[in-house]
Amino acid sequence: MNNKLPHEGPESMMPLLPVFSRVIAATLMALVPLGMAHAGDDNVKIGFIVKKPEQAWFINEQRAASELGQEQGFSVVRLAGEDGQQVLSAIDNLNAQGAQGFVICPPDVRLGMAIANRAKQYGMKVVTVDDQFVGGDGEPLEGVPHLGMSGYKIGQQVGNAIAEEMQRRGWKMENTGALRISNNELPTARERTDGATQALLDAGFSKDNVIDAPQQNTDTTSAFSAASPMFSKYGKFDHWVIYALNEESVLGGVRASEQYGLSPDQVIGVGINGSGAAFAEFSREKPTGFYGTVAVSSTMHGRQSAENLYQWIVQHKEPPANTETTGTLMTRDNWESVREELQL
């Protein structure tokens, strides 16, 4: 039976290495003086499952986890979990490969209980990254350590960046619409867009000018579809500001504004992530309506969550229940230095 999933990383090929090369590797290891050998446990294997394997944020996160594994001497199997079925087969697949646990950013946080149960059945440890599991009561599921952005604060940074740029451009609040591309089913998303909205209201923006565009997913396509009808529906506004849970979604809104015929100087879009999607936009010859993004280190998210899980497996040290990370505003002017600073 072929158990391999399309997104598995090269680490999953390890068991297929010819026996002699493993013997050579073992011999070489034996020749390394003890002090120089890595402290890792070669028998440890963890999974890293993400909901959107094609997005730059998640590609970087998984890559960073794999690099940490190489440094510390454990294997990381990178897998896609774009829906519940795929997640459950990824867990089965990890178990078949002898993995002791996995990091996951789930495709739907309400699958938390089912995922945690499947892991428990196999005796695997689970930590979440980015999107935290919720229980039937809508509250974070206990017993699963989490690492993610401090959503509300990062949202406020988005709102403040927008308000400052509006002021710099001399826009009048009453002639400006705020397009909030929302995904209220996902707490990660709601916290961020709530924080941004509150910062705008605090800056004097009127609630009536905040227009909701609910997206079905967390990607550019769904944001484009949600945003498109809003510009003509609210054609009375001269200017627009656009925000959402991530930069992929803000980019969908900006593309929709261009299609409607708005020019870059009529739009201020501010995203969240600071991934390849933003770098590509900032590298364009001319500025677009995508003004900036609050960058968070996906490298750190990938490394730290993998490290937490690894320590839990080998040292029996349970990770903190919730680790919150912070962000830095990245614009066309400073993106390269922020990128370097955050090791992206």
Nearer to ligand FCA by C-beta: 166 or 242?
242
CB of 332 to ligand FCA, least distance (A): 20
Nearer to ligand FCA by C-beta: 76 or 294?
294
Q: Is 272 in the site for ligand FCA (CB under 6 A)?
A: yes
Q: Is 220 in the site for ligand FCA (CB under 6 A)?
A: no
CB 278 within 8 A of CB 247: yes
Nearer to ligand FCA by C-beta: 230 or 294?
294
Contact mark string toward ligand FCA, 282..301, x via CB under 6 A: --------------------
Q: Is 105 in the site for ligand FCA (CB under 6 A)?
A: yes
Which of residues 130, 191, 281, 307 is near ligand FCA by CB under 6 A?
130
CB of 121 to ligand FCA, least distance (A): 26
Percent helix, strand, coil in the chain, to 5, is 50, 20, 30
In angstroms, the Cα distances linking 59 to 153, 230, 276 are 25, 32, 9
Which of residues 75, 157, 218, 305 is near ligand FCA by CB under 6 A?
218
Q: What angle do CA 344, 335, 278 make, to 5 degrees?
A: 75
How far is 167 from 157, CA to CA, in rounded Å?
A: 15
Q: What is the 3-state secondary structure (H, E, C) of 166-208?
A: HHHHCCCHHHEEEEEEECCCCHHHHHHHHHHHHHHHHCCCCHH
Which of residues 150, 182, 215, 246 is near ligand FCA by CB under 6 A?
246
CB 88 within 8 A of CB 118: yes
Nearer to ligand FCA by C-beta: 134 or 149?
149
Q: Is 131 in the site for ligand FCA (CB under 6 A)?
A: yes
Number of chain residues interacting with ligand FCA (CB under 6 A): 11
Q: Is 223 in the site for ligand FCA (CB under 6 A)?
A: no
Q: Is 149 in the site for ligand FCA (CB under 6 A)?
A: yes
Burial of residue 113 (CB within 10 Å: 0-12, 13-18, 19+) is middle
Q: Is the four-CA dihedral 194, 197, 202, 207 of positive or negative sign?
A: negative
CB of 57 to ligand FCA, least distance (A): 5
CB of 304 to ligand FCA, least distance (A): 13
**SS3 label, residue 238:** coil
**SS3 label, residue 144:** coil
Which of residues 273, 288, 299, 331 is near ligand FCA by CB under 6 A?
273
How far is 188 from 151, CA to CA, in rounded Å?
A: 6
Query: Which residues on neighbouring strands pair with residue 23, listed in sequence order?
Result: none
Which of residues 76, 134, 226, 245 is near ligand FCA by CB under 6 A?
245
Radius of gyration (C-alpha) of the chain in whole angstroms:
22
Nearer to ligand FCA by C-beta: 97 or 218?
218
Rule CB under 6 A: which residues touch ligand FCA? Answer: 57, 105, 130-131, 149, 188, 218, 245-246, 272-273
